Amino acid sequence: MRKLFLLINTYFLTFSLLFAQAPSGYYDNALGKNGAQLKTELHNIIKGNTERSYADLWTDFQSTDKKPNGKVWDIYSDVPNGTPAYEWVFAVNQCGNYSGEGSCYNREHSFPKSWFHDASPMYTELFHIYPTDGYVNGKRDNYPYGEVDNPTWTSTNGSKLGPSSTTGYYGVVFEPIDEYKGDLARTYFYMATRYEDVITAWNSEVLDGTKYPVYKKWTLDLLIEWNEKDPVSQKEIE
């Protein structure tokens, strides 16, 4: 389902769809719709995705998150157009225990599992689960994504943890590097669309408890900005 990308204008008013080998007629019911009606129609189209097991994800990553050099594509350690401090070998470097950054990679719920009470099928929803450094994943914890001016901790690739500098929220947030902000924004729009029938029961400081547009204004504004500044990459399309 990473072949579906939602490019959002202000407050979910308009969606454009990038098609990547979608079956003929797949999106027909969404044509001509916008706003909440479009979001619901997209939900109806994609809600039949196949549930994976948690163990399946290790193998799935070899298709969804492989660098051109064959190594694990870890968004929390990757250095675009540069040399990362370390890289992972699939299967060989799976966590396991970690003692610090660079120990092993694990399965990061970019949309923290505590927000949806560890429930299925979200718990193994491949679209929002990324292979990332176990230690960095632990530092991110279940903090929302945001922007940080004065970090209390920074990873080797520049991902930051600290007090939010985003207008409207002043708690602790985790800021990924610019290269992956759009990826994560589109992941969050996917989660709001795929699970719109259950998301109102989830608990998080990013959600407002209503069906549409789901996210609080500070989060929605931030996700839209990230989506616009970091367009869909070849990694996402593939």
pLDDT at 238: 86
Q: Model confidence at 1, in pLDDT bands (50, 70, 90)? A: very low
Number of structural domains found in the chain = 1
Residue 198 structural domain: 5-237
For 136-179, the pLDDT digits (tens) are 999 999 999 999 999 999 999 999 999 999 999 999 999 999 99
Q: Model confidence at 134, in pLDDT bands (50, 70, 90)? A: very high
Residue 6 has pLDDT above 80, yes or no: no
Bigger pLDDT: 29 or 5?
29
Mean pLDDT of the chain: 92
Q: Model confidence at 190, in pLDDT bands (50, 70, 90)? A: very high
Q: Model confidence at 210, in pLDDT bands (50, 70, 90)? A: confident
pLDDT at 20: 58
pLDDT at 212: 86
pLDDT at 11: 40
Q: What is the mean pLDDT of residues 48-56?
A: 93
If we measure between CA atoms, which residue out of 155, 149, 194, 205 comes closest to residue 176?
Answer: 155
Residue 5 has pLDDT above 60, yes or no: no
